[in-house]
Structure 1
Amino acid sequence: MKFRLFNTLAPRSGSLAFLAIQILAANKIMHANRFAQMETYLARRCGIAINHLRAPVTVVSGTRQGGSYRLSGRLTWASGYGIFDTLVVGFHCEGRELQAVIPFEPREGFTVGEVTETFVGNAMHTVDIVLDEYEVPQEHIVASHPLGTYTKNKSVSKTIHYALYGIGLGAVDALEDEEVRRKAKAGLETVKDAFLATKDGEELDRLRVELFELVQRIVTTGMILHGGRSVLSSERLQRYYRELVMFNANGLNTALKTLHKQAFLSAFEQRH
């Protein structure tokens, strides 16, 4: 169902698909940890600010004070300001990795910066948040796990694959050259079958790089064949180009960056 959802959303709006990813992730975290107040928060629009848990350092730290936690740190790239009611936020405390639900609005110890201007996805209203001894009650703690748990769970996620594939479907639909359309569709189906069939994290990383490069070639070729009108804001392919980069820039770790670098160097060496 999730795969089908992103096949539908991604070709229509990358921003909407990106926000949906966050809602689904927040809901999954609450379900997986049997959060006592889950039903209350499922009825709201809840985003996430937890990808920093993959960093090798502590980005947001927490200290216990009685029946609550005090959080300090800077959350970057928090999407959905003015759209989401709440956020699932990750932090480190006493050698563990915790997640909590908090309101997504300015208040004491919670400062929201200006909406970030980017070349894509401005509709998501992405902001930075500064936490300064921000108080979170114990009953708002969703989960507590050993350090590295989020990174381990994220490594086998296929969500970005679904989104990249969805953009690829939209790009194929926008192609005018029938020969290119047939080849592009066949290539997409081959990679799709491969990532749906595996649960191996390393193989999924490799397939993500392959899928990105394939969709990028499809979009670029389509734009070239369309000609100069491809850059018009009313055209779909230029939007897919930008949204493709947006999705692939999400959740990159050292292993994925290395794979992209190796793919580039290998292609360069073959031509020179």
Structure 2
Amino acid sequence: MSVSAVTGSPINQLDPLFQTVIAPQADQLDQDPQMLHKAFQWLGSHHLLGLKASPDWGGQAWQSQAIWEYTEQLARYSGALVFLQSQHQRCVQELSNSGNLALKERYLRAAIAGHIGLGVGFSHLRRPQQPVMAEQTAGGYRFNGRVPWVTGFGIFDHWMLAALLPDGRAVFVLASFQGSDPVLSFSQPMQLAALGSTQTVTATLRNWVAPAELVLDVKPAGWMQQADLGYPLTHNCFALGCAQGGLDILAGARSSALPTIDQIYQRLKAEVAQCRRETYGTLGNPSPERLRLRAWAINLAVRCGHGAVIVSRGAANFAGHPAQRVYREALAFSVSGQNNDVMNASLERLMDPSGSVGEMPCAHSGMGH
């Protein structure tokens, strides 16, 4: 079944696919990089790896709401897969928008089809102290330092490296995962508590030079901060999908002998729906409420994941239990794409659970905070 010709929201066709193909192997995808790689390629075979890319290159050019719905629903079934493909989608988007025609012709169609995978290494641009810097040199750019987080080692073929130049601009280039030498080397995959199968490593660069033909873009000073202002709620899709994964476990545990489980399920389900409505309501209308909504979604993912653990009893302590996986994913999505503003909003939500998001009216949930 292909969804390449879907118009409008594709999620009605995608959800049955995710339920039958992704959900049954979610725990294996969380643990096995090879299975995760196959699932990633499956997304490519169903035309789901170039959602923002131009149709001229095989992309889908979906609107933001469809992409948010897709991301949220995939996160419901596999945090590892949704995170891995999001890294690839981000690089594909930059490659699609790049003015480097030769680079696009070499990689873009293959990336959209899932024949090659592309990672990213630019989240460090949010940091006040930069761990890697670049300088222009004859015919290209020279990089020195360490990129703390690069996902997809052993799964992806290339990755998008970004670093600040002395004037504050950010240069983006395409680097290879293949091989390891003194000028560009990688750590062993990190032993992460969540999403470990995505194979996240640290890259160390010692006078590594990227020739001009590998340059994707040079962005103006302050680009990352402006991007965060414009798109902070993209990450809500991960948290809301994760929350739904917790709700699925709660739903399966309901019984007439324990009516409290259904009560908490109904309350959390209504609150997730309200957070979703408000989040999607910001599309095309940037809202000053974005940090409140981000903190709320994170809080819901953790609460739904915790609820899944509680109703699963002692079995949830097994590493391969679905509730254990969902709860770990909630922790990971609590900090993905985080900046200081998001951290502060999340901490304020912890200090004042009702005040930060506003009390849910009883008409929505049937229960007050």
Structure-1-length-normalised TM-score: 0.91
Of 43, 50, 72, which residue of structure 1 is paired with 2:144?
72
Q: Separation in 2 of the partners of 1:266 and 1:9?
A: 31
CA contact (8 A) 2:84 2:151 kept: yes
Residue 125 of structure 2: aligned partner = 53
Residue 103 of structure 1: aligned partner = 176
CA contact (8 A) 2:149 2:200 kept: yes
Of 261, 276, 284, which residue of structure 2 is paired with 1:192?
276
* Secondary structure of 1:56 counterpart: coil
Of 193, 202, 213, which residue of structure 2 is paired with 1:128?
202
Query: Residue by residue, what CA displacement relative to the aligned partner does 1:178-199 show, whole Å, maximum 9, x if unpaired?
Result: 3332222211110001111114
Residue 218 of structure 1: aligned partner = 304
Residue 34 of structure 1 deviates from its aligned partner by 3.6
Q: Is 1:18 equivalent to 2:75 in the alignment?
A: no
CA contact (8 A) 2:172 2:217 kept: yes
Within-5 A mapping of 1:5-44: 5-36=70-101, 37-42=103-108, 43=110, 44=116
Residue 111 of structure 1 deviates from its aligned partner by 1.1
CA contact (8 A) 1:155 1:201 kept: no
CA contact (8 A) 2:244 2:304 kept: no
Flag structure 1 segments of 5+ consecutive residues without an equivalent.
none
Of 258, 271, 289, which residue of structure 2 is paired with 1:203?
289
Percent identity of equivalent pairs? 23
Residue 155 of structure 1: aligned partner = 229
Q: Separation in 2 of the partners of 1:216 and 1:64?
A: 44
Of 211, 220, 237, which residue of structure 2 is paired with 1:137?
211
Residue 225 of structure 1 deviates from its aligned partner by 2.7
CA contact (8 A) 1:111 1:131 kept: yes
CA contact (8 A) 1:156 1:201 kept: no
Residue 231 of structure 1: aligned partner = 317
Residue 99 of structure 1 deviates from its aligned partner by 0.7
Residue 4 of structure 1: aligned partner = 69
Q: Is 1:253 equivalent to 2:334 in the alignment?
A: no
Q: Separation in 1 of the partners of 2:183 and 2:69?
A: 40
CA contact (8 A) 1:50 1:89 kept: yes
The two structures, once aligned, show a CA RMSD in angstroms of 2.0
Query: Residue by residue, what CA displacement relative to the aligned partner does 1:156-198 show, whole Å, maximum 9, x if unpaired?
Result: 3233111111111211111123333222221111000111111
Residue 108 of structure 1 deviates from its aligned partner by 4.7
Distance 1:35 1:183, change over 3 A: farther
Relative to its length, the structure with more strand (as a share) is 1
Residue 220 of structure 1 deviates from its aligned partner by 1.6
* Secondary structure of 2:77 counterpart: coil
If asked which structure has higher relative contact order (CA below 8 Å, sep 6+), I would say 1
Flag structure 2 segments of 5+ consecutive residues without an equivalent.
1-65, 111-115, 255-261, 356-369
CA contact (8 A) 1:48 1:89 kept: yes
* Secondary structure of 2:76 counterpart: coil
Residue 268 of structure 1 deviates from its aligned partner by 11
Aligned residues: 269
* Secondary structure of 2:192 counterpart: coil
Residue 267 of structure 1 deviates from its aligned partner by 4.9
* Secondary structure of 2:329 counterpart: helix
CA contact (8 A) 1:53 1:148 kept: no
CA contact (8 A) 2:73 2:241 kept: yes
* Secondary structure of 1:77 counterpart: strand
